[in-house]
Structure 1
Amino acid sequence: MPRRRRPPRPGALADLSPTRILSQIIVLQLAYYACAAVLILFTALVAGKEISTDLLFSWRSLRGDTTVGWTLGLVWVLNSLTCAIFILLLIARSKLVLDFALTIHFIHLIVTSLYSHAIPTNLFWWALQICSAALMTSLGVWACQWRELRPINFGSKPGVRQGNGSAPDDGVGETRGRGRGRGRDGAGEYEMVNMNEEGNTV
């Protein structure tokens, strides 16, 4: 007998089309750099520093022996927390958060290496990337799990007290798909009752 293949685990990347995965990666990467650019621009203007693309793409700017390096490190940490929100909005699946978080930082490593013409050798930069990936993953997983565990509303409204202060009695008098007929005797559609009465009098 041929060996049966084990079905893929729920939430695996195989469940998604390659086109959708690629588009999500591109959007997340652009959002990652856009938020970082805004934060770095704001910090540089407040601190009175010269604005350049090195602050965004060069790993040599992240140094542990300068104030600018530590400030940039804090900015990148805040950026990782912000990017977790985009993961929640675009991915919304806790089992995929780690894959996308690592992909974002791996692409950032390639971009930084190409921009600086060298692979990062600064330990501070590597430590920052590890902390950033860990924060993005932990916060993203927590946010996606919180969204996944929320109760699903199938259109039924919670028990709403009537004007006389009495609660509805086990759905008696409720009509499916209507906004009327909420009385105990089902005579909530007063327009229909009036039409029937007029028809009897004719």
Structure 2
Amino acid sequence: MPRRRRPPRPGALADLSPTRILSQIVALQLAYYACAAILIIFTAAVAGKEISTDLLFSWKSLRGDTTVGWTLGLVWVLNSLTCAVFILLLIARSKLVLDFALTIHFIHLIVTSLYSHSIPTNLFWWALQICSATLMTSLGVWACQWRELRPINFGGNGGATKPQANGSAAEDGGGESRGRGRGRGRDGAGEYEMVGMGEGENSV
């Protein structure tokens, strides 16, 4: 008799799907470069500098001995903080934040090396990447954990009783208290039954 296989954990195949992981990496990388491009264009326009793709892809522009290099470094740090928001929206799992953050910076290393035709040798560039990855991971993990630990609201109070002004409690199903005809007294003293006047006189 063939051995029965255990059913997969709900959501396991969806979470580990290569197609989904690849799509998330592509989306995060595009968001990473889009936000960096917007920040770099805005900063260059304000500073009156010439806008070129070297500011985005070349590692030679990031230098610690020029004002442009330090300004670009600040822009990339701000970009890492912004990318943490996209990690929260697209990933939303704290244990996967480090993997995606390192993947983003690794792909950026490959793109920069191909664009510049050489591996970065500037220590300022490497220090900036380490700082950017650290900030992105720290903020992303904190944001995802905050989202994961939020209390779940099931909504409504159900059939909870609402206190009345005289101290008694009435049920939500219509707002009328029970006590007419045969039922339980409002003071909780027990059940009673209304008796007609004629029947009461005969019993005296």
Instruction: Give 1:62 deviation, angstroms.
Output: 0.1
Which amino acid is 1:148 matched to? E
Normalised to the residue count of structure 2, the TM-score between the two structures is 0.73
Q: Helix, strand or coil: the match of 1:80? A: helix
2:63 and 2:165 mapped to 1: Cα distance?
A: 66
Q: CA offsets per residue over residues 21-74 of structure 1, 9 Å max, x none?
A: 000000000000000000000000000000000000000000000000000000
Whether 1:52 aligns to 2:52 is yes
Instruction: Give 1:156 deviation, angstroms.
Output: 2.9
Q: Which moved more, 1:130-139 or 1:12-21?
A: 12-21
1:136 and 1:51 mapped to 2: Cα distance?
A: 26
Instruction: Give 1:154 deviation, angstroms.
Output: 1.8
CA contact (8 A) 2:57 2:112 kept: yes
Which amino acid is 1:118 matched to? S
Alignment of 1:4-83 (within 5 A): 15-83=15-83
1:95 and 1:75 mapped to 2: Cα distance?
A: 27
Instruction: Give 1:153 deviation, angstroms.
Output: 1.2
Over aligned residues, Cα RMSD in angstroms? 3.1
Identity of aligned residues (%): 85
1:96 and 1:13 mapped to 2: Cα distance?
A: 15
Q: 1:153 to 1:14 in 2, by over 3 A?
A: closer
CA contact (8 A) 2:14 2:20 kept: no
1:43 and 1:66 mapped to 2: Cα distance?
A: 15
Instruction: Identify unmatched segments of 5+ residues in structure 1.
Output: 1-10, 175-180, 187-202
Q: Helix, strand or coil: the match of 1:154? A: coil
Normalised to the residue count of structure 1, the TM-score between the two structures is 0.74
Q: 1:76 to 1:47 in 2, by over 3 A?
A: same
Q: 1:146 to 1:120 in 2, by over 3 A?
A: same
Q: CA offsets per residue over residues 135-188 of structure 1, 9 Å max, x none?
A: 000000000000000001123359x9x8x889xx6xx734xxxxxx363649xx
1:173 alignment partner, one of 167, 171, 174? 171
Larger radius of gyration: 2
2:175 alignment partner, one of 179, 183, 186? 183
Q: 1:173 to 1:94 in 2, by over 3 A?
A: same
Which amino acid is 1:117 matched to? H
1:93 and 1:12 mapped to 2: Cα distance?
A: 13
- Match of residue 110 from structure 1: 110
Q: Which moved more, 1:98-107 or 1:148-157?
A: 148-157
